[in-house]
Structure 1
Amino acid sequence: MKKDYIWIGIGCVILGVFISFQMKFVQGTYLNGTTPTQKTTEILNELSAVKSEKEELLSQIETLESQLGDIQGSAANENAVIKGLTEELNRFKNFAGMTKVQGQGILVTIDNPPQDSSYGVDLNINYDYKLILELINELNSAGAEAISINDQRMVNNTEVRFASSQINVNTVPLTAPFTIKAIGNSRTLQGALNQRFGIVSTIRAMGYYIEVKEVDNLELPAFNGSIKFYYATPVK
């Protein structure tokens, strides 16, 4: 009986040595010399650090997304401002005659009478250029938005004057026949010219040929000259 206890004791010692050896082996190989408790604590600390880093990165992402939204909003506002300014610039360029335009209006043709007519060769519309000026004035009064004479766009400083048996328009010499295009309400423009005792009647009565047509779509060229101000300056 005593021998049994001795063998049991010896077995326990051997088992304890084996377990101790196994724990040391695991600790040295897998736990880098630390105890399981220490390794667990170390892993928990690393996990906490990773979570903190993740939260910080998420915060940075939110900040960057907010900044991106501000930049995009600013760009959109800037684009809206630029678009508005561009539209305003184009509108003033149209007013100034610096762009091609199209729209409904009227087409007026004025020419000298045929040489075999009763008027012979005595009449020349170039000498009566003031009739053209009067016709242009009627068109402007009737709301014409754009006018051209023989494809010379009329602007604020366009001249219509007699020079060397021709008519100068934008310093370009022109002669009959004259084709006058005017964009605006075609019925209103036509009525303004053809009213009783109006400019059309006057021109015909003097023996010149004149025809007025309403047109659904006219295209007028842009003013191809330059406008410079040497004396006029904006008032501040």
Structure 2
Amino acid sequence: MKRDYVWIGLACIILGIFMAFQMKFIQGTYLDGDTPTQKTVEILNELASVEAEKELLLEEVTRLETQLEEIKSSASGESAIVKNLTDELDRYKAFSGMTRVSGTGVLVTIDNPPQDVNLGSEKNIAYDYRLILDLINELNSAGAEAISINEQRMINSTEVRLAGNQVNVNTIPIAPPFVIKAIGSAKTLDGAINQRFGIVQNLRELGYYVEVNQVEIIEVPAFNGTVKFNYATTVE
């Protein structure tokens, strides 16, 4: 029995030495000589410092943005030239589709007809997307100043093309119902697409649901993509 106690004691001593060596190794290699508690405190302090620095940077950004707006406002108020240039820039941004606009116009909704259970096939306006292009052309020829399809603003580079069973507009897939907003003379726009043998009559004869409403105020969103010119340059 006494010998057993001796062996147990030796085993405990060896295990204690091994654990102390391992703790020393971890402390020197991963904790830079600190205890785990000290390292935790250090990390928490660094985190608090980073968060405080982030708050200061956000406050600085807000301050600079406010200062910029004050400078722009002051410059516009003091200089008629700057104000005129600002107005001209806003006008060009509106024409190019880079800003949200509102005004009188028409709201056109086009949807698929109810599925014919007997035929077992479903008609999809996406497959007749060229009719959507025809409708947009009619609106443009009638003087539409801004057009959107399902909140996608139409600009000079906008594509309307079939993508599977949907339609891509500004590379964004959209599905029926198609809601087309157009700003312009509501009466003229309505008359252009609702004329006899016109595009609305054509769509309805094909079985599609079409609703056209004249509205006093309609809002067309801004183009939310990017426009790049890789080949075209300005001519002086």
State whether TM-score is above 0.5.
Answer: yes
1:182 maps to a residue whose letter is A
CA distance in 2, matches of 1:89, 1:173: 31
Residues 1-236 of structure 1: pairs in structure 2 closer than 5 A: 79-116=79-116, 121-236=121-236
1:105 maps to a residue whose letter is G
2:212 maps to a residue whose letter is V
Q: Deviation at 1:122?
A: 3.5
Structure 1-normalised TM-score? Answer: 0.66
Please list every run of 5 or more consecutive structure 1 residues that lacks an aligned counterpart in the other structure: 1-74
Residue deviations 1:116-172 (CA, integer Å, cap 9, x gap): 477763411010000000000000000000000000000110000001221000000
* Cα distance, 1:119–1:93 mapped onto 2, change above 3 Å: farther
CA distance in 2, matches of 1:193, 1:119: 30
* Cα distance, 1:78–1:127 mapped onto 2, change above 3 Å: same
CA distance in 1, matches of 2:105, 2:121: 32
Tell me if structure 2 keeps the 8 A contact 1:162–1:168. Answer: yes
Structure 2-normalised TM-score? Answer: 0.66
Tell me if structure 1 keeps the 8 A contact 2:77–2:83. Answer: no
Residue deviations 1:13-60 (CA, integer Å, cap 9, x gap): xxxxxxxxxxxxxxxxxxxxxxxxxxxxxxxxxxxxxxxxxxxxxxxx
Tell me if structure 1 keeps the 8 A contact 2:166–2:173. Answer: yes
Residue deviations 1:76-119 (CA, integer Å, cap 9, x gap): 99711100100110000000001110000000000000114777
CA distance in 1, matches of 2:124, 2:77: 59
CA distance in 2, matches of 1:206, 1:188: 24
Residue deviations 1:171-220 (CA, integer Å, cap 9, x gap): 00001000000000000000000000000010001111101000010011
SS in 2 for 1:210: strand
SS in 2 for 1:127: helix
* Cα distance, 1:166–1:235 mapped onto 2, change above 3 Å: same
CA distance in 1, matches of 2:134, 2:117: 25
What value does the CA root-mean-square deviation take over the aligned residues? 1.8
CA distance in 2, matches of 1:230, 1:122: 42
Tell me if structure 2 keeps the 8 A contact 1:119–1:207. Answer: no
CA distance in 2, matches of 1:98, 1:205: 36
SS in 2 for 1:126: helix
Seq. identity, %: 64
CA distance in 1, matches of 2:127, 2:213: 25
Residues matched between the structures, number: 162
CA distance in 1, matches of 2:102, 2:222: 11
Match of 2:49 in 1: none
